Amino acid sequence: MTEVKKGYVYVLTNESFKDNWVKIGKSKREPEVRGRELYNTSLPLPYEIYATLKTSKYQEAEKMLHRTIDRISKLRIASNREFFNIAPEIAYEILLDVASMLDDAEVELYGDTVQVESQKLKRKVSARFDFFTRGIERGSKIVFIDEPTYTAIVENGSEVLFEGRLWHLSPLARELFTRLGKVNASGAYQGPLYFSYNGKKLTDFEIREPK
């Protein structure tokens, strides 16, 4: 029996986009490769992968995702393009809904994420990292594991202050690895993996139940 090749539905963001613009498309190739292919002279900055859905039914999944957004809104920026005026977090939620109807779905959320249990998929998926839900308060100092002289201060649930500027963890990790000459091929980083608080890696902190 011939094995059906899997592909990807991807949600891409770009710092040169307006707020809450995303590109949602599909590809047989790895998302990192597709992101590099799409980066050309018409864009001042490269794409960043926000989330992916890997499945053998990736073409059907992409159509379902597009139709879902189009059916409930007029958020597609141009009728013949894959750009949507929608928050990436909402696009990810719809991606999860589509994945819950597929038998072979593998969902990944890039960037500042950690693994949590998903009631929709009945398995672990990625969710946005939040300092406060893990008991790390504003003003706490976190340390870059690969070079402890680099430190940052927690400013809110998802951002830190480094050298007078607010950063999410993943772009900051990329910046610091670039300074150290250790950039990986894809340019994508799961930020919480590379920082610690009080000697404990951020990904080792469990979510605290609200009192």
Task: Give tens-digit pLDDT for 134-148.
Answer: 999 999 999 999 999
Q: Is the pLDDT of residue 59 over 70?
A: yes
How many other CB atoms are there within 10 angstroms of residue 128's CB atom?
17
Q: Give how far the C-alpha of residue 210 lies from the chain's centroid of Cα atoms, to the nearest Å.
A: 25
pTM: 0.60
pLDDT score of 155 = 95
Confidence of residue 78 (pLDDT cuts 50, 70, 90): low
Q: How far is CA 146 from the centre of its chain?
A: 22
Banded model confidence at residue 40, pLDDT cuts 50, 70, 90:
low
Q: Which tops the pLDDT comparison, 154 or 158?
A: 154
> Measuring CA to CA, which residue among 111, 93, 89 is closest to residue 20?
89
pLDDT at residue 157 greater than cutoff 80: yes
Domain ranges of the chain: 7-128, 132-204
Report yes or no: 192 and 113 within 8 Å, Cβ to Cβ.
yes
The pLDDT value recorded for residue 90 is 83
